[in-house]
Amino acid sequence: MGFLSDRDKAELEPAETASPRTPIPVQMVASDEYAPQVQSPRQQEVQARLMDMGAELSRHQGLSRRRFFQTSAGMAAAFVALNDVYGPVFSASRAEAATPDMAQERSTALRGQFIMDMHTHFLRDDTRLTGFVRMREAVGQRGWNPDLSGRPQTLEDLKFDNYIKEVFLDSDTKAALISSAPSDIPEDWFLTNSQMAKARERVNAEAGGRRLFTHAIFTPGAPGWLEALDAALELRPDSLKGYTVGDNTHKATSRYPWRMDDEAVAYKGYEKMAAAGRKIVCVHKGLFSAEVEAQFPHLAPFADVRDVGQAAKDWPDLTFVIYHSAYRLGDPAKALAQFEETGRLDWVSDLAEIPEKYGVTNVYADLGQVFAQTMVAEPRVCAALMGILIKGLGADHVCWGTDAVWTGSPQWQIEGLRRLEIPEDMRVRHGFAELGAADGSVKTAIFGGNNARLYQVDATEVSALENDGMAGRKAAYLAAGPRPSLRRYGYVRSASA
């Protein structure tokens, strides 16, 4: 988190210990790519209502409040609390929250839905994990745990099992893509390209099918980047990913920002990708609030989408997936005010207008943090984002991604989209279409159909996932009685801030 000041760092706390274990987060949880905002008064109200409702309903159901929150009824209660504070945006009722059988019946009916989450991470918090690595190394060297001796301790050793549990066991996700983020400091990469490839090999070998997909990170302009790209392509990644701001973790010292439409730099990489048959190019955009821009004005021209359209037009055989849908982030109340006044949201509207402006069909939007953060901070902004993206790009060009496990298991986000509807007043005023039923055509496309088409996963392969090794593992987990952790793994702004 090299872009944060010492004061910023003093105001942050790890979400896994500072956040209450509620079915949905009750304040912004951030990775080390951006700073979280302080819990708003309305989020505090959601938390208070949810805790009170949990205490009441858990007592009637003979459960502890924590156990109630782990159930389908507890999840329904969270959305009731959101509706109580923000207005009716989500399909949820107090009857569902108060009736375990009703809630469980709904959950079971939707469990088989095909969900392909192509934006996930293993947890990495360098300072804390470095301590854990050193501790594990000491244990191995002393012979207390022979399995740890004779090999280096890695992030994958520490967090791989937790990732599998949160993503594949505690959510309805059927397939996922493990991603990473680069840094000018090699040891600050989230995961190396080879680590991602090894994780894919391990998961898919155990499952007996394609459950895990991977990125390979490319870094245009950095020393030796084309040679590094050649090496990455040899790993046969399922898609490529780049950050146009360069080192997003250490923004103050980022030395190699780049533009997607730079013919002298980025296009050389596209040429190699196309030749290797790796034609999905994912690009991190957005999450660059006005406050961040004030700190790093030199990176602002690289964070928005002004370079997307021309690149897409020049490379029609490549598919460009814009991560986080280029949402700028920042104060959700200001975002709502902007939308209500202008019908626009910074950078998201620009992204949605690219197909018409440039005459292209190869630009897609990944949801990533855009859905997670707006859903719990200002649900009407979440609804507006979905309306803008679908109206401009089409429902067949919006892709599911959650950025898990930063915000914990992706199940609460899955439930959020299943239950979300664009309010009628917003649909009438802006010409947005309904999102429809949880398993209707629009949400089915976003959850899995669009990613399956991009990554060439056919119906036969989807069907095979119902009986593979991961399906068997999940069935055993559910039979034993699931215990979702309800933890988040990023950072929150402390109450004292």
Domain range list for the chain: 40-110, 116-476
- Reading the block at residue 46, the tokens are 């959601």
Cβ contact 8:35 at 8 Å:
yes
Summarize pLDDT for 121-154 with one digit per residue, the tens.
Answer: 875 444 333 433 443 344 334 343 344 344 454 4
Summarize pLDDT for 245-255 with one digit per residue, the tens.
Answer: 999 988 999 99
Region for residue 324 given its phi and psi (left: phi exceeds 0; alpha: psi -120 to 50; beta: otherwise): left
Task: Write down the mean pLDDT value for the chain.
Answer: 90
- Reading the block at residue 218, the tokens are 């490319």
Please give the Cα distance from 243 to 237 (Å, whole number): 17
pTM: 0.92
Q: Is the pLDDT of residue 489 over 90?
A: no
Amino acid at 363: V
Summarize pLDDT for 250-273 with one digit per residue, the tens.
Answer: 899 999 999 999 999 999 999 999
The DSSP call for residue 40 is P
- Reading the block at residue 15, the tokens are 């979400």
Q: What mean pLDDT is predicted for residues 186-201?
A: 90
Please give the Cα distance from 392 to 74 (Å, whole number): 35
Summarize pLDDT for 81-130 with one digit per residue, the tens.
Answer: 999 999 999 999 999 999 999 999 999 999 999 999 999 987 544 433 34
Region for residue 375 given its phi and psi (left: phi exceeds 0; alpha: psi -120 to 50; beta: otherwise): alpha
Please give the Cα distance from 35 to 40 (Å, whole number): 15
Homologous superfamily of domain range 116-476: Metal-dependent hydrolases (3.20.20.140)
